[in-house]
Amino acid sequence: MPAPRIAIGPEATRSAEDAIRRGGGIPVAGGQPADGLVWLNPRDPDGLSAALEASPSIRWVQLPFAGVEHYAPRGIFGDGRTWTCAKGSYAEPVAEHALLLALAGLRQLPDRVRATTWGEPAGLSLYDQPVTVLGGGGIASALLELLAPFRVRATVVRRRPDPVPGTSRVLPTERLHDALPGALVVFVALALTPETTGIISGPELALMDGRAWLVNVARGRHVVTDALVDALVRHEIAGAALDVTDPEPLPDGHPLWALPNCILTPHTADTPEMTEPLLAARIAANVAHLAAGEPLEGLIDADAGY
């Protein structure tokens, strides 16, 4: 087919334009006839709808993040177009951050960073320990690769219990409670949907070991914050390491800030400096696939909502 014409919205960037050209496409201004649309705002469904109305020839839409929870409730993924997102693109830096948070908690680095005296030796090793990963997508796969040298016994909990390399077992989401007891670290790395909102609450935290750490690099609303605060205050679990929170940003003065067994990072598992070249690579690849009539990467499942 001729070189695909790709619009960029709501505003074009040099990175996106260059990526389209690398993929063999032609960047066009918004409102002009286009075969595809690269939409760079993760939280503007109204603007996206207007852009699609202005250019009805668009048959493929690329969204910028792996999480598409701001768009899924609109039902737009079933409009007959091909929809892709960045799922899998940012998996490596997010998995890297998840491992960092887990090790920081297990080795009690927050205490040592603030310490003004020698203190008592303390800490746990991750080697040969059981861990549980909620999610079976790109972040989970990248995390399992990072965990492999630690010889962990990994359980993955996912919507469909298909085999996942690097695991001891894979369980469906309905069996989450079977995967929590005994795990030294529980990693949350799954898409946010109505079914996974609040997937970690009081009953789940009560099933975790007293020495266990909860690490969340997915979305804050996966975890019921009040229940987590209670579990941390009561030392029902050893600690929580959170790159995402509910609410987000976490307000100054929130109880989580004051808890010594809680590590907080401000949604920096994948910074713009990390994601821009990774998104550009996804855009270039998908433009090339579109031109060749090949399947695209990061396809959104309209039924699953991610």
**Residue type at 157 in one-letter notation:** V
- 3-class secondary-structure state, position 274: helix
Characterize the bridge pairing of strands 5-9 and 26-28: parallel
Catalytic residues: 219, 248, 267
State the Cα–Cα distance between residues 245 and 8, nearest whole angstrom.
30
If one counts every other C-beta atom within 10 angstroms of the C-beta of residue 11, the result is: 9
As a three-state string, the secondary structure of 56-86 is CCCCEEECCCCCCCCCHHHCHHHCCCEEECC
- 3-class secondary-structure state, position 303: coil
Q: Please, what is the end-to-end C-alpha distance for the chain in angstroms?
A: 29
Q: Determine if residue 24 is left, alpha or beta; phi over 0 gives left, psi from -120 to 50 gives alpha, anything else beta.
A: left
State the Cα–Cα distance between residues 208 and 236, nearest whole angstrom.
8
Specify whether the CB–CB gap between 62 and 278 falls below 8 A: no
**Residue type at 170 in one-letter notation:** V
Q: What are the Cα distances from residue 124, in Å, to 97, 229, 238, 263, 289?
A: 18, 23, 11, 16, 47
